[in-house]
Amino acid sequence: MYAQLVKSDALKSREDMSPEERAFQDRVDNGEKIEPKEWMPEGYRKTLIRQIGQHAHSEIVGQLPEGNWITRAPTLERKAILLAKVQDEAGHGLYLYSAAETLGVSRDELLEKLHSGNMKYSSIFNYPTLNWADMGAVGWLVDGAAIMNQVPLQRTSYGPYSRAMIRICKEESFHQRQGYSIMMKMAFGTPEQKEMAQDALNRFWYPALMMFGPSDKDSVHSAQSMAWKIKMNTNDELRQKFVNETVPQAEYLGLTVPDENLAWNEDKQGYDFSEPDWSEFFEVIKGNGPCNRERLGARVKAWEDGAWFRDGLNAYADKAAARRQAASVAAE
């Protein structure tokens, strides 16, 4: 989702596990949390670094499509709200990078991997935000889809990740509600505004469905991640849940979900719906979406342009420490 395609190990059977691995699995099965200094299988550590890292990258790259509209928000209030939301995303990135760092990877290492294209972020942020209604659609659909995935992850087996998720989920509800409130304003406004809202829904619907990652039948190695409780639900389960909750919300707005096959299925107590175009998804992941180059370019530029400032603060801190040292020597 925010981590869509995380490479993981193949599921290890109990017979193939070492005594340490078996004891570890028992703890996970019992719902115990694994903490940074404790023994863990190397695959667990590596998969978590990939997943939490991808999640963190998504939070900070995710600032860009919305940041695009801060200076052009229609009112001062909407501007302050959007600013607060984008600020929250930076915080969420920070919580997650910190959680990843407890696994023995450094922040700079993670950023370097993002910048060189060796680590991914969610495909959703490679789509452009063309008008103000997109701010509504992003909050409502993109944050809505993120919440679907993040709520169960609060129960993940890795302590620092779980605690970061709890913090993030607390803040995320504001994000979705501010998005939906923009959608309400637009959908109940002038015909032109309603048209913009519909257009935003049309463009974001399928990319939002892609956020949950490929269908379970094509999803590689999620069994091991589920056994380790770093993935709590299958991609298709979460996608179904998202559609079930979102369709009535679209109906309330008087907007049409752009899917001719959408229909309530009484037997499964859920909607039948069309799959997104998975070839498009894999192209976007590969780097060929509408905004991939722009997004990554903006991140790299921000990092490089900020280098002198980070170095300057380091130099100041070193100088101040040297001064304190000198003063304490002189005092003795």
List interacting residues with another protein (CB under 8 A).
Answer: 32-33, 35, 77, 80-81, 84, 88, 144, 159, 162-163, 171, 173-174, 176-178, 180-181, 245, 248-249, 252
Which 3 state secondary structure label does DSSP give 34? strand
Q: Find the shortest distance in angstroms from Cβ 85 to another protein.
A: 9
Choice between 28 and 210, CB closer to another protein: 28
Choice between 238 and 296, CB closer to another protein: 238
Q: Find the shortest distance in angstroms from Cβ 81 to another protein.
A: 5
Q: How far apart are CA 189 and CA 129, in angstroms?
A: 20
Q: Which two tokens stand for residue 178?
A: 């501010």
Q: How far apart are CA 270 and CA 273, in angstroms?
A: 9
Helices and strands (H, E) in the chain, number of each type: 14, 2
Choice between 56 and 81, CB closer to another protein: 81
Crossing angle of helices 76-101 and 107-115, in 10° steps, is 110
C-alpha distance from residue 1 to each of 90, 210, 218, 303 (Å): 18, 8, 15, 25
Choice between 25 and 162, CB closer to another protein: 162
Q: Find the shortest distance in angstroms from Cβ 146 to another protein.
A: 13
CB atoms within 10 A of CB 5: 16
Residues 6+ apart with CB under 8 A from 228: 28, 44, 47, 157
Choice between 40 and 81, CB closer to another protein: 81
Q: Find the shortest distance in angstroms from Cβ 287 to another protein.
A: 33
Query: What's the half-sphere exposure (Cβ side, CA atoms, 13 Å) at 323?
Result: 6
Choice between 84 and 220, CB closer to another protein: 84
Q: Find the shortest distance in angstroms from Cβ 83 to another protein.
A: 10
Choice between 174 and 303, CB closer to another protein: 174
Q: Find the shortest distance in angstroms from Cβ 226 to another protein.
A: 19
Q: How far apart are CA 277 and CA 65, in angstroms?
A: 22
The full 3-state SS of 108-142, as one line of letters, equals: HHHHHHHHCCCCCCCHHHHCCCCCHHHHHHHHHHH
Q: Find the shortest distance in angstroms from Cβ 140 to another protein.
A: 9
